[in-house]
Structure 1
Amino acid sequence: MNFPSGSRSYSRKSTGVLLLVGVLAGVTVGGGVGVIAASSSKMVTVCADKKTNVLRYAKDGNCAKTETSVVLNQTGVTGKTGVKGATGKTGATGKTGATGAKGDTGAAGTNGTNGTNGTNGTNGATTNSQVKNICGANGTTACAVGLQGPGGGIVFMTPSTLGNTSGLFFEAAPSTWSSQSGDPTSVWCNNSTELLGVASATGTGAMDGATKTAVMLGVCTSGAANLADTYTATVNGVVYGDWFLPSKGELTQMYVNRDAVGGFGSGVYWSSTEKDANNAWFQDFRTGRLPDNYLKTSNTIRVRPVRAF
């Protein structure tokens, strides 16, 4: 392949001139005329005849032994890495990604040690399942004066008894409630010569012995009320511990029905009713005399508990 005759630079033998001629001169490429430009990015092999310096373009990149090979746009050796540039500014924070799927439930932990046992609660009150108007030893008879009551005593007053506004039945403990020798004796209260607030007017028949007994127990450390309160009776598996010292009205009614109750003999019995700060009312079962009074802390007479139901 020959350069056009218009160029005079092909006769120069200098390699530098050959390169310049190769860059500026036209050569036949693929049967036509092309321009090899210094700015071309394609690597091009040019063959120069060693005798005539005639240049030709080698499509396959190979030159004959009689030619000098000139490669244009050949990639040079990689240069040294340049100095590291300054770190750029931190970009804006990206949006929070979507919430991931819920993880699997972890394995169950081991059981903790048992706590200490709590203290036992107080026992509940004992209830009486006895029907209130059923009496008798066999528990099948309607209650009446003289019959055995639910607590093992003898009924001496019913809701229909004159003066009984409580609506309750009353039974007296048997004469052997304390011992086989009969009713025990005691002072009314061992340590009080003051009015306790359990007085009733002469001749009244208030059926409030349970209330009066509770007041006495709050003051007296021993005496008639304390004896009555300590009595308990167990009948058919039920414990009856709600006995009290009868009031003057209750004691008088017990005297009225003394023969039905039985076991009194010739005795004098305390009531839970005060007359004043120094005296309390009693009932004389020997003479049938109306209630009278004795000194609370010095006179010693008999005690018979009762209960209401």
Structure 2
Amino acid sequence: MLLFASNAFGQAPEKFTYQAVVRDANNALLNTQQIGVQVSILQGSATGTPVYVETHAPTTNVNGLVSLEVGEGAVVSGTFNTIDWADGPYFIKTETDPNGGSNYSISGTSQLVTVPYAFYANTANVANVADSISPNATIIADSVSPNAILNELDPVFDTSVAGGITTNDTMNWNAHTDSTDIAQMGYVAGLKTYEVGDFAQGGVVFWVDETKQHGLVCMKENLASNSTSWYAGTYGTTRAVGDGIYGGESNTNLIIAAQISIGDNGSDYAASLCSDAEITENGITYGDWYLPSKEELYLIGANYATIDVTAIANGGTAIAYSPYWTSMEVSTTNAIYVVITPTGTSDATVNKAATFNVRAIRAF
């Protein structure tokens, strides 16, 4: 059995949500089946001391997805509300019995990288501002005008580089910071950022750039399942050979333009399915989908477990363990396909008439 998981913290400090897609030894989803799960919070390392242990007996949904509220299970040991989240790192260990009992045949451990603020707030140290005031300190002003400028009298500050900053400097900086400057600065607090696994921009985020403001999403489900060919019925050269991130977009445009001149029998093919697709999520319609390059499908393969959880949680389907078309041509008659499995991602070439899966992607 394979267990792929993601954890999402809520704002209440008494629990957090843990989701997983459950598969058996043959990689088949365990649908609508009760399973047994033991959850342990480990302190210090992946083999550290369990400070809290609880059990659950959830039932997977029709897509093999199970959701647990960690902190609300049957307690085996420890007290969840007394965990000192500031004294980490902490790891979550899950042990699963696919038959619903306590004969746990598979386990996995991952670090809780982000401890929710509400958890930490429960155990944060209390600091009294007055503790840092010397008993001999003298407060020289009990009121300050809204427009007052206070001179810096700290001798350390005066001897530093910052000591040369004047009020005119700060006014000039404020006056000359515009949208161009902000773009050059890169990350600016408050701008929307994304992580792999987010459900956004019409699909599931599977890659982000260094700013975390732009990246790639894939659809939450296949456009075609082992039913669509690469070409439009007539062999020919399309020059769609671009690889890498964003490579699939130019390939898709080349394929469609070439197939019109080579010969189009009017049936759907992989690139046309993607180009014609329109997906509406949260009231926004996205119509700029394309057939991914080989590298873009490899990026999906590297994050497929996370993609599965998010896609299924939002009404989609898991990545199939069977061939997906890329947008990359090899010759007049052959193109590249990619296979994604739990043991790795691979690619090969095949005749364009073969019928494979299609999952479209888009850039944002």
Q: Normalising by structure 1, what TM-score?
A: 0.46
Structure-2-length-normalised TM-score: 0.40
Q: When you count helix as a share of all residues, which structure comes out higher?
A: 2
Which structure has the larger Rg? 1
